[in-house]
Amino acid sequence: MVTQILFGEYFEVLEEAEKWCRVKLAFDGYEGWVDKKMITPLPIDIADKLKTEIPAVTTASFNIVQSKNSYHNFLIVAGSSLPFFNPADNTFKIGDSTYVLHGNNLAAHPSVIRSALVEYGMNYFNAPYLWGGRSPFGIDCSGLVQNLYKMCGITIPRDASEQVKTGEFFSFVEEALPGDLAFFDNEEGAITHVGLIWEKGRIIHASGQVRIDRIDHNGIFNVDTKQYSHKLRIIKRIIPV
């Protein structure tokens, strides 16, 4: 598994096999194979409208959604997209189907993005690590920060090696603000890990589980093992001060 497509995200089908489709996700351009049973086809005109829309995004760890067509309830996770969302009655549409969201979906105002990133990050606290994961049931380091930024209306790439190419570089960890991203490399110098600055000297990241550890100019100091676990390479600022 290379990544997960969250509810409401749409994609282009690039190739079809007997039971699988190779798709390209519109949100971040990621490609992979999806079981045909999981796909809801969309008319071209609806897909074109989605390209011009900024979707509502759920921020609660879990929300209940009800289908108005069948009255069937199901669960969606934080970071799910709600196409053509109507806040007046909490409804949204996918194709010909209309759904009702039960719970909150919140859009962070630009002035509170940094505090929102930290707040949303805490909703994943103790979520298990899962390679390619993007949900509270299992998530990886780059999936965590990508989802947190998505919930604040900001799109960043899927992988840490691509995320590091975004934003503004600065030199000292002491300059970091909540919501800035810290990147870490391996012995070969390749970026292999990313985390979100939580507060001065603290970082929230997915390593074994989503956790909060200390960070300094050397890297991440694991508060449980009392050892450094990741070597700091660079800190980037995506949200202007």
pTM of the prediction? 0.93
Q: Is the separation of the CB atoms in 83 and 92 below 8 Å?
A: yes
Q: Is the separation of the CB atoms in 202 and 215 below 8 Å?
A: yes
**Which pLDDT score is estimated for 69?**
75
90-114 burial, b at 16+ Cβ within 10 Å, e below that, comes to: bbbebeeebbbbeeebeebeeeebb
> Average pLDDT, stretch 15-42?
95
**Which pLDDT score is estimated for 105?**
66
> Average pLDDT, stretch 126-131?
98
Closest CA to 210 of 200, 199, 221, 196: 196
Question: Is residue 110 over pLDDT 80?
Answer: no
Question: Is residue 108 over pLDDT 80?
Answer: no
**Which pLDDT score is estimated for 107?**
62
**Which pLDDT score is estimated for 106?**
63
Q: For 220-236, how does the pLDDT look when each residue is reduced to its tens digit (9 = 90+)?
A: 999 999 999 999 999 99
Written as six digits, the tokens of 147 are: 């989802």
Written as six digits, the tokens of 50 are: 């989605």
Domains in the chain, start-ordered, CATH in brackets? 11-102 (no CATH), 110-237 (3.90.1720.10)
Contacts of 213 (CB under 8 A, 6+ apart): 202, 203, 205, 207, 220, 221, 222, 223, 229
**Which pLDDT score is estimated for 109?**
66
Q: Is the separation of the CB atoms in 99 and 91 below 8 Å?
A: yes
**Which pLDDT score is estimated for 152?**
92
Q: For 55-89, how does the pLDDT look when each residue is reduced to its tens digit (9 = 90+)?
A: 899 999 999 999 987 778 999 999 999 999 998 99
Q: Is the separation of the CB atoms in 185 and 202 below 8 Å?
A: no
Of the given ranges (23-27, 72-76, 94-98, 201-205), which has the lowest mean pLDDT?
A: 94-98
Question: Is residue 112 over pLDDT 90?
Answer: no
Question: Is residue 131 over pLDDT 80?
Answer: yes
CB-based burial of residue 229 (10 Å sphere; 0-12 exposed, 13-18 middle, 19+ buried)?
Answer: middle
Q: For 189-204, how does the pLDDT look when each residue is reduced to its tens digit (9 = 90+)?
A: 999 999 999 999 999 9
* Average confidence score pLDDT of the chain: 93
**Which pLDDT score is estimated for 111?**
67
Give the rounded percent of residues in the chain with a pLDDT score beyond 70.
97
Q: Is the separation of the CB atoms in 223 and 213 below 8 Å?
A: yes
Distance from C-alpha of 78 to C-alpha of 6, rounded to nearest angstrom: 9
**Which pLDDT score is estimated for 170?**
87
Q: Is the separation of the CB atoms in 157 and 146 below 8 Å?
A: yes
How many residues are present in the chain?
241
